[in-house]
Amino acid sequence: MKDVELENNTLRLTHTKTRRQEIVPICSTLKQLIINYLQVRVELKRETDSLFVASNRSGKDKRRGDGSFGTRGVQLLFKELNDNLNFGKKIIPHLLRRSFGTMLLRKGLNIVDVSRLLRHSDISITVKSYIGYNEKELLSSLEKFHPLNLKF
């Protein structure tokens, strides 16, 4: 909970795979969602400093002893989502991450900022591994920006 800095619109990540502490910005919509969640979280009365806790409404124990989500809890949550929803593709956390990056690019955010938001150590990781392309969009861009199509 101490890593949520709503007044600065940031979250502090302390348990990263690089073992570095990182500060990430959050948009106003996510900030409001967190505020709403924190109001509900108080009612769960979990004795933990972890931000995310389980309500355990499904009957399956997704929690650690203190009520916080661990890796296994997240795995069980996504398994439950996949069992109950039919999206045609298995939903995993990394798919959501990739979709987030792709949507940002399609909305016009530059690749450097997308790479920073995904916390990649090198922009080439963003370009090679995470961001897909759409052939229709590629053709549309070619038509719009190709030097032979520019009007003088």
**pLDDT, tens only, 44-81:** 777 778 787 766 554 455 556 666 777 777 788 888 88
Decide the pairing of beta strands 10-13 and 4-5: antiparallel
Average pLDDT of 115-127? 89
The sign of the CA dihedral 87, 78, 52, 101 is negative
Q: What is the pLDDT of residue 58?
A: 47
Q: Quote the CA–CA distance of 122 and 69 in Å, as a whole number.
A: 30
With 50 as the cut, is the pLDDT of residue 17 above it? yes
What percent of the chain shows pLDDT beyond 70? 85
57 forms beta bridges with none
With 80 as the cut, is the pLDDT of residue 41 above it? yes
Confidence of residue 141 (pLDDT cuts 50, 70, 90): confident
Confidence of residue 7 (pLDDT cuts 50, 70, 90): very high
Where are the chain's structural domains? 1-45, 50-86, 92-146
Confidence of residue 152 (pLDDT cuts 50, 70, 90): low
Of residues 28, 29, 54, the one with CA closest to residue 41: 54
Kindly report, residue by residue over 93-102, the tens digit of the pLDDT: 888 888 888 8
Confidence of residue 123 (pLDDT cuts 50, 70, 90): very high
Q: Quote the CA–CA distance of 4 and 124 in Å, as a whole number.
A: 30
With 70 as the cut, is the pLDDT of residue 147 above it? yes
Would you state the structure tokens that stand for residue 122, as one six-digit string? 């090198």
